[in-house]
A and B are shown apart, each in its own frame.
Chain A
Amino acid sequence: MTGDGHAPRRPPFGLSVWPWSFALLMFLAAAAALVAALVLVDQTGERIIEAEAQAAARAEHDYLISLEREEGLAALVDTLNLRERLKGGGFRYSLVDARGVPIAGSAELARPSRSASSWRVVQAGANGGQTRWQVVASALPSGERLLVAQNLDLRRAFRAAVFRSSALAIVLASGACIAAGLALNSMLLSRASAIADTAARIAGGDLAARVRTHEPGDVFDRLGVSINRMLVQIEDLMTGLQTVTDSLAHDLRTPLSRLKGALIRAMAPGLSEAERIAAVELAHAEADRTLATISALLDIAQAETGLSREALAEVDIAALTAEVAELFSPLLEDARQSFRIRIPDARVMARTHELLLRQAIGNLLHNASRHAGEGASVALELLEGPEKLEIVVADNGPGVPEADRGRVQQRFVRLDQARSTQGSGLGLAIVAACAKLHRGELLLEDNHPGLRAVLRLAR
């Protein structure tokens, strides 16, 4: 829609879905999460490794101290020399006497020893290179000093490895998230714009356009199904309106032109008084028919739109049905039809639109009297259920062909065999509208032979 002067306004608070700003937002969020995760991993890792290393060095140190205490200085010297030769576990050892002269282990480590027992970091060139060591030193009871050094570079390498692998994992995960987000984004957009395209086609006049849906559906399929149902309803209404307009034009034109004809005849000079009155009476009758057709149409429209619901009231349907039967029975008697009425003696209360229901039952009886034929038997029954009521008018006349049973409920539809008789073609449409107003339905069934019309009402 390219509205002139009706540019689509953005909803407040930036609620509109802008695809790229959405993706950018996701990307920024992912990057922030990544940085935060790396900092966390690094710091936590550092803390854990540090504590672990100190514990390991101290344990090593304590072991050597207790070795010296239990087995003597010579055993300690041997052990240190042996370990220094093996150079295992990232530890180096050194033992110096009170004057600082190395007795066992590494000589280079022994040099910078100032404090008695504390952590410090020294740089010593083992094998010619610069390696950083962390040293714990303590004095033995006999005056010597024991130094245990741990290789910091190994720790650093480990820390770097942890950092790299975490970073890699997080980058991969973020990438996957962004990819998934973008995919979801474009899927949402394509699904939504498919629906929008359909709506645009409808707006362009193609009423047959439908949203494509799949079974079993997701939320978009459900949306599509609802929209399609709405479109079917709209199309039905449009078709109905078209039919009504056409039929109305036809059905009103006929009595109106007859009325005009009768009036022209009445105006003709030299007519006897009796002839003139007869012509005027004919015109009068045609005017009545036209008015009746119009008010019937209004009644149907009102019942169908449900506006009449406010006029619903608790009514004794048994008494109402009996009264209408009584009113219409002479019509059936005139057609030499037998009329059987089966209505409960007790009251049958239901919330109904009394006037419309009377008319609906009347129309069914009227139809039976006209179409079931001479000598047919007609039965009127009121069947009571807990949730619904059925008012049944059944005859053993010629019935209505199955193919036509849906059609005859529409406005102005008259089957060919009924064209010769008078009638507006609105009778069953009113009954159907009455059923709809009462959340029920009008069923036209085969009575083997004949027609069985069931007006079903929800209680």
Chain B
Amino acid sequence: MSRRILLVEDDADAADYILKGLREEGFTVEHVADGRDALYMATASAFDAIVLDRMIPGLDGLAVLKALRAAEIDTPVLVLSALAQLDERVKGLRAGGDDYLPKPFAFSELSARLESLMRRGSAKPVQTTLSCGDLTLDLLTRRVTRAGRPLDLLPRELKLLEHLLRNKNRVVTRTMLLEQVWDYRFDPHTSLIDTHVSRLRKKIDEGFDQPLLHTVRGAGYRLSEEP
């Protein structure tokens, strides 16, 4: 069954861009351009995720979000906004948004975040180990092994690896890593994340035949057995 997404966006160009991208990825997308319709749709039927623009006619995006949460609708919501300021972001998350993406954004960023949100929504049984191929992270002892051989990782490398393992086979963007691993919501103007990733890659991939940590051009990184 294909997953359903509600897109709330009043700007026709932006809506077209997102609709096209999401449909290509195999989602079923409902599109509304107005706050009241959004609230009606979201309460009338079930969606796997909602992409909600902050500035929409009818009802303000945050008001829609608050109304949804007040009605105990827990569908993950990704808030889109041209208001990139710190406080707008804080307000969006406080109102009950699960993630916040400032405009303009690359479609790959939107899709990666949606995947991450929907996975978060579906609760999984408690795991004590995470693995990808022959790479294993024991969450209790914080020990990492590859092909049975122990690897010596720094705490910051462990944190990064855990995040990549939890998003196995999915693209994780640089901004997502900055925000979700280090809670740092600014572009540091450097290849900071690349440096972190290349150090981790050196430890987990060097000396092994099959690389696990891949760079996805123009998007970010993916931890996967497949190339």
Chains A and B form a bound pair: yes
Contact A424 B183 (CB under 8 A): no
> Bound state CA distance, A351 and B104, in angstroms?
32
> Bound state CA distance, A359 and B89, in angstroms?
15
A346 adjacent to chain B (CB < 8 Å): no
Contact A288 B187 (CB under 8 A): yes
A131 adjacent to chain B (CB < 8 Å): no
> Bound state CA distance, A247 and B128, in angstroms?
53
Contact B189 A329 (CB under 8 A): no
Residue in chain B with minimal CB distance to A291: B104
A220 adjacent to chain B (CB < 8 Å): no
Q: How many A-B residue pairs have CB under 8 A?
A: 75
> Bound state CA distance, A296 and B188, in angstroms?
11
> Bound state CA distance, A395 and B166, in angstroms?
38
Residues of B within 8 A of A310 (CB): 87
Of A10-18, A319-327, A405-413, A445-453, which stretch is located at the interface?
A319-327
Residue in chain A with minimal CB distance to B83: A298
Mask, A251-292, CB within 8 Å of B = 1, is 000000000000000000000000000000100100011011
Residues 154-198 of B at the A interface (beta carbon under 8 Å): 155-156, 178, 182-190, 192, 195-196
A358 adjacent to chain B (CB < 8 Å): yes
A148 adjacent to chain B (CB < 8 Å): no
Chain A interface mostly? helix
Residues of B within 8 A of A329 (CB): 156
Contact B192 A327 (CB under 8 A): yes
Contact A292 B189 (CB under 8 A): yes
Contact A422 B189 (CB under 8 A): yes
Mask, B67-107, CB within 8 Å of A = 1, is 00000000000000000111101100000000000101000
A362 adjacent to chain B (CB < 8 Å): yes
B218 adjacent to chain A (CB < 8 Å): yes
A302 adjacent to chain B (CB < 8 Å): yes
Contact A298 B84 (CB under 8 A): yes
**On chain B, which size bracket covers the interface?**
20 to 34
Residue in chain B with minimal CB distance to A356: B86
B3 adjacent to chain A (CB < 8 Å): no
Residues of B within 8 A of A323 (CB): 182-183
Contact A362 B183 (CB under 8 A): no
Residues 180-221 of B at the A interface (beta carbon under 8 Å): 182-190, 192, 195-196, 199, 218
Residues 341-365 of A at the B interface (beta carbon under 8 Å): 353-356, 358-359, 362
Contact B189 A281 (CB under 8 A): no
Contact A355 to B155, CB < 8 A, known contacts A330-B192, A330-B196: no
Q: Which of A295, A296, A353 has the most CB of B within 10 A?
A: A295
Residues of B within 8 A of A296 (CB): 186
Contact A423 to B90, CB < 8 A, known contacts A295-B84, A302-B85: no
Residues of B within 8 A of A292 (CB): 187, 189
Contact B183 A366 (CB under 8 A): no
Residues of B within 8 A of A330 (CB): 192, 195-196, 199
A328 adjacent to chain B (CB < 8 Å): yes
Residue in chain B with minimal CB distance to A294: B84
Contact A355 B187 (CB under 8 A): no
- Residue of A326, A355, A423 near B185 (CB, 8 A) is A355
Contact A331 to B85, CB < 8 A, known contacts A323-B182, A326-B182, A359-B186: no
> Bound state CA distance, A354 and B93, in angstroms?
14
A249 adjacent to chain B (CB < 8 Å): no
CB pairs A–B below 8 angstroms (20 shown): A289-B189, A292-B187, A298-B85, A302-B87, A307-B87, A324-B184, A326-B155, A327-B156, A327-B182, A327-B184, A328-B192, A330-B195, A330-B196, A331-B192, A331-B195, A355-B185, A358-B185, A362-B184, A362-B188, A366-B189
* 13 more CB-based (< 8 A) A-B contacts, given A291-B104, A327-B184: A295-B84, A295-B187, A299-B86, A299-B186, A302-B87, A308-B87, A324-B182, A327-B156, A327-B192, A328-B192, A356-B86, A359-B186, A366-B188
